[in-house]
A and B are shown apart, each in its own frame.
Chain A
Amino acid sequence: MSAAVPYTPAGTIHSANIPFNRKRVSPLRIVGTVVGYAVMIAVAAFTLLPFVWMVLSSVKNNNEIFTVPIKWFPEVWHWENYATIWSKANLVVWTKNTVVIAVAVTLLQVFTGSFAAYGFSKIKFAGRDLLFLCYIATIAVPWQAYMIPQFKMLSSWGLSDSLPSIILMQSFSAFGVFMMKQFYDTIPESLSEAARIDGLSEFGIYGRIILPLSGPSIAALGIITFTNAWNEYMQPLLYLRSPELWTIQIGLKSFVGEYSAAYDLIMTGSVLSVLPILVVFLFGQKYFIEGIATSGMKG
């Protein structure tokens, strides 16, 4: 039970595989662990490098950022950049708007998406696959191909310069349905069958069996939806005009436009814009780490 997944890093894709096994500690296993850590550290360094650069730039003097050759550490640490930005940028308002959008989109997307996904995954009805293909098909259409008709529609409802327009556009994207459906497909059919035989209604099966089992995937969908909504740039850009409705991305972009030379502050803003998602991620990932892995089949 203790070894959740029996692979070494090296064996995952290409070469030799050494199953982890608590009972015999072979030299190979130690090598595997060492290689595993080496890989992880290399990957972490690679992925974090630009972020580290961003953080370091945010405490530099503006002239120190673009030097040739690249200079990693500032001569003097300008922590005051973090104080300055609050007076120059309306970060509180931007953050508030972005939180409203991201939370609303995440809730709507997770709720309606997982509900619909159950219909697509566990109930067999005529036209299901076709309808589902329709959903996937819309993912394949680039937004810029239909943004003008969509904009016309939403502004004819008087929603063009408003937060609900952004929330509406993102909440019903096919993405969440598709993703949850695929996760539900992973849950063995035998579970819902058994429940049907026991006389449970579809809603009962969804609420009492499937939903509790899909914790990790709901956490994943939630995190991803939240991140996407947080980082969405084009839609707020096209729709929002009033500065009091701006999101972080729009605000940052406009900040870049206004202080085009102030890269220290731009980097400070970027760092601050990432922090909230980081918190959400750290919070959310706890759930899907402690997921169902071992208890799923007990029912």
Chain B
Amino acid sequence: MKSTKLTGAVAFVAAATMMLGACGSNNAAGDGASIPAFDPNAKTTITFGAWALSQSPEFTYLKEGFMKKYPNVTVEIKEYSNDNYEKQLTADLSAGKPTDVIPLKSMNSYYTYAVESKGLADLTDIAKSFDSKNLDSSTHELDGKYYGIPYRRDFWVMYYNKDIFEKTGVAAPDGTWTWDDYVKTAEEMKTALKKAGYGDDVYPTFTWNKKSFVQDFANNQSQKDPKASMLSGDYNYFKPYYERALKLQDEKLALDFNTLTSTKVTYQGLFGSQKIAFFPVGNWYTSALVSSQKNGDAEKFNWGIAPVPQNPDKSTNTQTDKPVTVAGAMGLAVSKYATGQKGAAAREFVKWAAGEEGALELAKNGVSPAYLSDKVTEAYLGAEGMPTDELSKKTITDFDTKVSAPVVTGKEISKITTLLNDAHSAIMTETTPIDQALADAGQKAKDAGVVK
């Protein structure tokens, strides 16, 4: 009996190991060379990953636009989870079964997907086919190669409720604000709101409980080389930004972090029901705000867009002649497992979506595309519900993201990002003083060996 048991156990471990091995070697995938030229007359079906379709209609716009141009190609959308897209994608890539066209949701895991999964096709030729004046693909460059092409670029702006500013008589944003002006206006607004008869539940501004709200601005507005600063292990430069964030919540100029985390109230809900006067967020909010005002989920009021406040500290200010903000690029990749006409069609889709035609589809629906041209800008500004005042127009067209995004590729950065998230939560819950939390994060990064 003993021996039977032992044999069983051995066979078992062997089987388990074999399984791993077998699954690991399923990379019978095509590389660029074996992909034929795209044949628009061939009947082809490609799959396209997407999430939260009613909230992010851009996937449908792209699908329909492309199918209109190439009636023989069917684009089939596979719906992923909005919050867990990357986990699902990791599993898919690991099993070698992703969709043919893969949206790259965040830059955080781009490096892993591109370099380690070996599941993304090399799209360097497509990236090179664009003029960098129109399409800046540098966000997705890894050692001269491109595994993703940006098709959408969101940047942070400040939304404000024109009606509230009018009623309270506080001076509306004029495009020259620094963060000090921002805090000062919030204080002024607080008393003005009361005088104008607003309730206690109306706040001057809103602080997002994600770390990007504080840290990304500090990175881009006060550091010459954000990536180097992130890798330095010394995060003291976040301090002025945190002091202002704490001031906002201590003086009740914005809902505090704890309330936000525990009640999960959203800026969409608050701004939409006129409970906040002004706040910075990504310009992806525009299309959502327009549609929710249209379908009645949000109240109807006048709003505008202004540039995000700038760094008041002259010694570290990186502002050029344009306001510096934070931007994020979202890219499209092609699965390496898509071969033959499928692969060719998927590439054509990416090329089309990232190019001017795809950009126009997005822009006219109020989604900000990565591809820039006068035609696209015009379409974007002309999208339904888009504010038409001069400041809003200027904000949308005239800004600087310095480095086009805080480039967060590479293993080290994703570790540091997690640590800085912890620091952010420790500071904003006011459980740890700013200095100590930032020093701890630096120390932990050193311990983990990701910074020197």
Stretch at the interface among B77-85, B305-313, B361-369, B420-428: B77-85
Answer yes or no: A204 CB below 8 A from chain B CBs. Answer: no
Q: What 0/1 pattern do residues 13 to 35 of B give for CB contact below 8 A with A?
A: 00000011011001000000000
A residues in contact with B97, CB < 8 Å: 155, 160
B52-A257 in contact (CB<8A) = yes
Whether the pair B91, A148 counts as a contact (CB closer than 8 A) is yes
Chain A residues contacting B82 (CB-CB under 8 Å) are 254, 257-258
Please state if A237 and B52 are interface contacts (CB–CB under 8 Å).
no
| Interface class of chain A by DSSP | helix
Q: Which residues of B contact A148 (CB under 8 A)?
A: 90-91, 94
User: Please, which residues of chain B bring their CB within 8 A of the CB of A152?
Assistant: 19-20, 23, 94-95
| Residues of chain A contacted by B92 (CB below 8 angstroms) | 160
Contacts of A149 in B (CB 8 A): 19-20, 23
- Known contacts A149-B19, A160-B95; A258 and B79 CB within 8 A of each other: no
Q: Does B314 contact A (CB under 8 A)?
A: no
Closest chain-A Cβ to B197's Cβ sits at a distance in Å of: 18
Nearest opposing residue in chain B for A63, CB measure: B273
B91 touches A257 (CB 8 A): no
Measured between beta carbons, the chain B residues less than 8 angstroms from A243 are 79
CB nearest neighbor in A for B76: A242
Contact A237 B81 (CB under 8 A): yes
**B55 interface contact, C-beta 8 A:** yes
Minimum CB–CB distance for A244 against chain B, Å: 10
Q: How many angstroms from the CA of A254 to the CA of B82 in the assembled complex?
A: 7
A164 to chain B, nearest CB (A): 16
Would you call A261 and B268 a contact (CB within 8 A)?
Answer: yes
CB of A166 within 8 Å of the partner chain: no
Asked if B263 lies at the interface with its beta carbon under 8 angstroms from chain A, I say yes
Q: How far is the CB of A48 from chain B (nearest CB, A)?
A: 21
Q: Is B266 an interface residue (CB 8 A)?
A: yes
A253 x B81 contact (CB < 8 A): yes
Contact with A along B266-284 (1 / 0, CB 8 A): 1011001100000000000
Interface residues of A in 208-259 (CB under 8 A from B): 237-238, 241-243, 250, 253-254, 257-258
Judge if B265 is at the interface, Cβ distance under 8 Å: yes
Confirm or deny: A27 has a beta carbon within 8 angstroms of a beta carbon on chain B.
Answer: no
Alpha-carbon separation in the docked complex, A260 to B4 (Å): 57
Residues of B within 8 A of A141 (CB): none
Contacts of B4 in A (CB 8 A): 127
A66-B265, A68-B201, A149-B20 are known contacts. Are A242 and B51 too (CB-CB below 8 A)?
A: no
Known: A261-B266, A261-B268. A241 touches B91 (CB 8 A): no
- A10 CA / B403 CA spacing, docked (Å): 68
Chain B residues, Cβ within 8 Å of A156? 22-23, 26, 95
Q: A127-B5, A151-B95, A253-B83 are in contact. Are A261 and B272 (CB under 8 A)?
A: yes
**Residue on A nearest B275 in the bound complex, by CB:** A63
With a cutoff of 8 Å between Cβ atoms, the chain B residues found around residue A241 in the complex are: 78-80, 88
Evaluate whether A261 and B87 lie within 8 angstroms (CB atoms) in the complex, with A127-B1, A149-B20, A241-B80 already known. Answer: no
Min Cβ gap B181→A in Å is 29
B250 near A: Cβ within 8 Å? no
CA distance A151 to B96 in the complex (A): 11
Residues of B within 8 A of A151 (CB): 91, 94-95
Q: Which residue of A lies closest to B56 (CB)?
A: A258
Q: Are B273 and A126 in contact (CB under 8 A)?
A: no
User: Contact between B268 and A238 (Cβ–Cβ < 8 Å)?
Assistant: no
CA distance A46 to B26 in the complex (A): 53
Is A130 close to B, CB under 8 A?
yes
Cα distance A173–B365 in the bound complex, in angstroms: 48
Q: Report the Cα distance A147→B87, complex, angstroms.
A: 11
Q: How far is the CB of A206 from chain B (nearest CB, A)?
A: 23
Tell me the complex Cα distance, A54–B94, Å.
Answer: 39
In the assembled complex, which residues on chain B have CB atoms less than 8 Å from the CB atom of A66? 263, 265
Chain A nearest CB, measured from B299 CB (Å): 10
> Of the candidates A127, A160, A257, which one forms a contact with B55 in the assembled complex, judged by CB atoms under 8 Å apart?
A257
| Contact across chains for B83 and A130 when beta carbons are under 8 A apart | no
Whether B20 pairs with A238 at a CB distance below 8 angstroms is no
- Which residues of chain A are near B297, meaning CB under 8 Å? 261-262
How does the 8 Å CB contact mask read for B336-367 relative to A, with 1 for contact and 0 for none?
Answer: 00000000000000000000000000000000
Given the complex of chains A and B, what is the CA–CA distance between A62 and B298 in angstroms? 11
Q: Confirm or deny: B54 has a beta carbon within 8 angstroms of a beta carbon on chain A.
A: yes
B93 vs chain A, min Cβ distance (A) = 10
B95 touches A260 (CB 8 A): no
Nearest CB on B from A98, distance (A): 16
Task: Tell me if A260 and B268 are in contact (CB < 8 A).
Answer: yes
Is A153 located at the chain interface by the 8 A CB criterion? yes
Measured between C-beta atoms, what is the minimum distance from A76 to chain B in Å?
Answer: 16
* Complex alpha-carbon distance, A130 and B265, angstroms: 51
How distant is the Cα of A258 from the Cα of B26 in the complex, in angstroms?
Answer: 35
Chain A residues, CB < 8 A from B19: 149, 152-153
Smallest CB separation, B218 vs chain A (Å): 27
Contacts of B23 in A (CB 8 A): 149, 152-153, 156
In the complex, A261→B263 CA distance in Å?
11
Residues of chain B within 8 A of A258, CB atoms compared: 52-55, 82
Beta-carbon contact of A257 and B81 below 8 Å = yes
CA distance in complex: A262, B296 (Å): 12
Given A148-B94, A257-B51, A258-B52, verify A238-B87 contact (CB < 8 Å): yes
A26 to B259 CA separation, bound complex (whole angstroms): 52
Taking CB atoms, residues of chain A closer than 8 Å to B91 are: 147-148, 151, 238
CB distance from B60 to the nearest CB of A (A): 13
Query: In the complex, which residues 145-196 of chain A have their Cβ closer than 8 Å to any Cβ of chain B?
Result: 147-149, 151-153, 155-156, 160
Once the chains bind, are A261 and B269 in contact (CB under 8 Å)?
A: yes
B 94-130 contacts with A by CB, 8 A: 94-95, 97
User: Which of A156, A238, A254, A258 has the most chain B CB atoms inside 10 A of its CB?
Assistant: A254
Look across to chain A and name the residue whose beta carbon is closest to the beta carbon of B22: A156
5 A-B pairs in the complex with CB atoms less than 8 angstroms apart: A127-B1, A156-B95, A241-B80, A257-B55, A257-B82
| CB-based closest 7 A-B pairs | A257-B82, A152-B23, A261-B269, A155-B95, A126-B1, A241-B78, A258-B55
Given A130-B5, A242-B78, output 11 extra A-B contacts at Cβ < 8 Å.
A66-B263, A66-B265, A147-B91, A149-B19, A151-B95, A152-B23, A237-B87, A254-B81, A258-B53, A261-B266, A261-B269
Using CB atoms and an 8 Å cutoff, list the residues of chain B in contact with chain A. Answer: 1, 4-5, 19-20, 22-23, 26, 51-55, 78-84, 87-88, 90-92, 94-95, 97, 201, 259, 263, 265-266, 268-269, 272-273, 297
